[in-house]
A and B are shown apart, each in its own frame.
Chain A
Amino acid sequence: MQLINPGFGLIFWMTLAFLIVLFVLTKYAWKPILASLKEREDSIEDALQAAEEAKKEMAALQAKNETLLKQAREERDIMLADARKIKEQIIGEAREKANKEASIIVEDAREQINSEKQAALIELKNLIATYSIEIAEKVLRQELSDSKKQQAFVDKLLKETQLN
């Protein structure tokens, strides 16, 4: 029975001692300890968050780099394509111009040839005419050596003239 009969003195001293220990520990131990634990946890939390943010930023940077690279590549492709087009255009133009010039030259040559030919023909005609006249003269001289024959020829010429 004595086990469950609490002593008054023990209760008195226990209450006093417990109040003291509760007060002293709360003020000088638990509050600073809990405060520093919280502070440490917060700093760890902050550090983790900062790391996470840095990681995100890094990823964003990388993505940006990638897009930049892609853009540059696209630009290069466009530039190359443009250059090719310009090159073709230039070649085309040159070819066209050359063709045109060639045709002009050919035309000129043809014209010259034509005119030369014409001149040659005229000269030939003249020559032939001169020769013909000479030949005709000679023939006529030979034919018209007697008067009869001359008469006959005049007649014939007249006849022809009448017919005309």
Chain B
Amino acid sequence: MGDKSISKQYFPLATLLLFFLFLGTTLLAQHHESKVDENWKEEALQQDFKAGDMIIEHITDSYEWHILTWNKTHVSIYLPVILYDQGEWHVFSSKHLHHGEAPYQGYHVAKEGFNGGKLVRTDTEGNEIRPDYDISITKNVLAIFISIFLLMWIFISVANSYKKRKGHAPKGMQSLLEPLILFVRDDIAKASIGHNYEKYTPYLLTIFFFIFFNNLFGIIPFFPGGANVTGNIGVTGVMAAFTFIITTFSANKNYWVHIINMPGVPWWLKLPLPLMPIVEIMGMFTKPFVLMVRLFANMTAGHIIVLGFVSLIFIFGHIAPVAGYGVSVVSVAFSIFMDILEVLVALIQAYVFTILSALYFGMATEEAH
């Protein structure tokens, strides 16, 4: 029975590894020595180390997954670019963009500004315009795919072990995750929502573990970690939007009464100038907005600090190698400290996002008292 169960157990892992191998062999840099690459190398040799650019490159999304630069050669996973612009589809590998240095099919990666790091085309007046729909599989999209694959694999196998070990004590992965599941159910959902918490528990568990996994993956400095998924405002925005939609759609009469005609407030705050309703309606939107910004800012800030400490080594090393070695000790110590703090923050931010979502659901479904 041993062989069979082991092969069954490791089958998803093997599939995952094969998937990455395939990605690696098909999309990885082929060390082609094209002209553009040569030019880029020349440029890179002349460039000084720019901490700001490096940090921004690490915390923003990109069309390729940069793994490392060895001997001035970039090793990256090239991801597909999918654009729909002016009624036409453009699908090509990001290899053709040469690390954002070259245009392809009229599109290039904007260097700076509001659209920095994103594919744009230049119109006749020289303005950079984003394509109508850019649904490229970017670094963050791939990281999301990997994380949801892992989440589904882990939790479905945990669910199976619950079925298999019915009436027994939890074991292995199950016993690792059960306290977290119970924590979300009892201390977040039940505590914040009240008697009808069961309807919302699956959503709360999903966002909790999605944020927690991606936060942890963001701390791992190399592939498949390292993508700043939860530090991306688009990702946090989508989750905040889900919370907003669920809150609004599950809201009962009492919730709307509190927004339109807040009880226990002097009438002159509602008539003739509806001050309270305006504040309450604004509150409906600021709540998810704050959710979005908090997670994004916390994760991004943490990454910036760690990267900043690492950058110090190179900045000092550029001044004098000895200084670089000297600073490296301090920098690494601080980076380790920050990384440990980030592990804590990963859990705390997942908790905060989840408990606030639960509180909003609780407010929306609270009965009049």
Spell out A's residues near B (CB within 8 Å). Answer: 1-15, 17-18, 20-22, 24-26, 28-34, 36-37, 39-40, 43
Contact check: which of A1, A4, A9, A34 meets B141 at CB < 8 Å? A9
Which one of B113-121, B256-264, B324-332 contacts A?
B113-121
Query: Once bound together, how far apart are the Cα atoms of A21 and B233, in whole Å?
Result: 20
B300 interface residue per 8 A CB criterion: yes
Asked whether A18 lies within 8 Å of B238 as measured between CB atoms, the reply is yes
Asked whether A5 lies within 8 Å of B148 as measured between CB atoms, the reply is no
Query: Once bound together, how far apart are the Cα atoms of A12 and B133, in whole Å?
Result: 10
- Contacts A2-B113, A3-B60, A29-B158 given; indicate if A12 touches B202 (C-beta within 8 A): no
Q: Interface residue count for B (Cβ, 8 Å)?
A: 54
B235 interface residue per 8 A CB criterion: yes
Asked whether B166 lies within 8 Å of A11 as measured between CB atoms, the reply is no
Shortest distance from the beta carbon of B226 to any chain A beta carbon, whole Å: 16
B298 interface residue per 8 A CB criterion: no
Within 8 Å CB of A15, what residues of B? 238
B269 interface residue per 8 A CB criterion: no
Which one of B30-38, B93-101, B149-157, B309-317 contacts A?
B149-157
- Contacts A7-B61, A33-B159 given; indicate if A14 touches B206 (C-beta within 8 A): no
Asked whether A20 lies within 8 Å of B140 as measured between CB atoms, the reply is no
Chosen A-B contacts, 16 in total, with CB atoms closer than 8 Å, are A2-B118, A3-B56, A5-B118, A6-B234, A7-B134, A9-B138, A13-B145, A17-B145, A18-B210, A18-B242, A22-B206, A25-B152, A31-B202, A32-B159, A34-B202, A37-B162
Within 8 Å CB of B167, what residues of A? 39-40, 43
Query: Once bound together, how far apart are the Cα atoms of A1 and B178, in whole Å?
Result: 41
* Residue of chain A at shortest CB distance from B81: A9
Query: Once bound together, how far apart are the Cα atoms of A17 and B239, in whole Å?
Result: 11
B13 interface residue per 8 A CB criterion: no
B362 interface residue per 8 A CB criterion: no
Shortest distance from the beta carbon of B293 to any chain A beta carbon, whole Å: 9
Asked whether A5 lies within 8 Å of B138 as measured between CB atoms, the reply is no
Given contacts A10-B235, A21-B148, 9 further A-B contacts (CB under 8 A): A2-B60, A2-B117, A5-B115, A6-B232, A17-B145, A18-B206, A25-B202, A29-B152, A33-B159
Shortest distance from the beta carbon of B22 to any chain A beta carbon, whole Å: 20
Shortest distance from the beta carbon of A31 to any chain B beta carbon, whole Å: 7
B136 interface residue per 8 A CB criterion: yes
Interface centre among A6, A13, A31, A33 (most CB of B within 10 A): A33
Within 8 Å CB of A18, what residues of B? 148, 206, 210, 238-239, 242
Query: Once bound together, how far apart are the Cα atoms of A24 and B156, in whole Å?
Result: 9
Contact check: which of B82, B137, B202 meets A22 at CB < 8 Å? B202
